[in-house]
């Protein structure tokens, strides 16, 4: 379904929480539309994703955001806007508090 490997411009992983129960946060800054698939796969694996679309042209960024949003919703995940062209996607079992 998705390419076996995607080359991302930037991929940072940060582990948070207790050693027994932690969540990984992936920061993805895609340069191409197909790199958005990595975000959907990560949410499917119960990871939190910050998708930074600032490196893309606006029309391509919107298309990528729509694709990822649809994929995450199909997984019963959640989406939150955290900045201009920056979105947070999380699995359903994660509580997100944006204060």
- State the pLDDT at residue 97: 85
Residue 35: strand, helix, or coil: helix
**3-state SS class at 29:** coil
Question: For the whole prediction, is pTM greater than 0.85?
Answer: no
Would you say 26 and 12 are in contact if contact means Cβ atoms under 8 Å apart? Answer: yes
Domain boundaries, the chain: 11-90
CATH topology of domain 11-90: Translation Initiation Factor IF3 (3.30.110)
Q: What is the pLDDT along the chain (99 residues), one digit of tens a residue?
A: 445 555 544 555 555 554 445 678 999 999 999 999 999 999 999 999 999 999 999 999 999 999 999 999 999 999 999 999 999 999 999 988 887
User: Which SS3 state, helix, strand or coil, does residue 37 take?
Assistant: helix
């Amino acid at each position: 379904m998705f390419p076996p490997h995607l080359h991302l411009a930037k991929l940072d992983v940060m582990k948070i929480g207790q050693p027994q129960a932690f969540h990984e946060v992936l920061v993805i800054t895609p340069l191409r539309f197909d790199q958005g698939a990595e975000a959907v796969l990560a949410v499917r694996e119960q990871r939190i994703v910050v998708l930074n679309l600032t490196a893309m042209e606006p029309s391509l960024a919107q298309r990528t955001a729509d694709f990822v949003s649809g994929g995450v919703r199909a997984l019963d995940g959640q989406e939150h806007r955290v900045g201009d062209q920056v979105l947070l996607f999380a699995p359903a079992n994660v509580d997100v508090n944006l204060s």
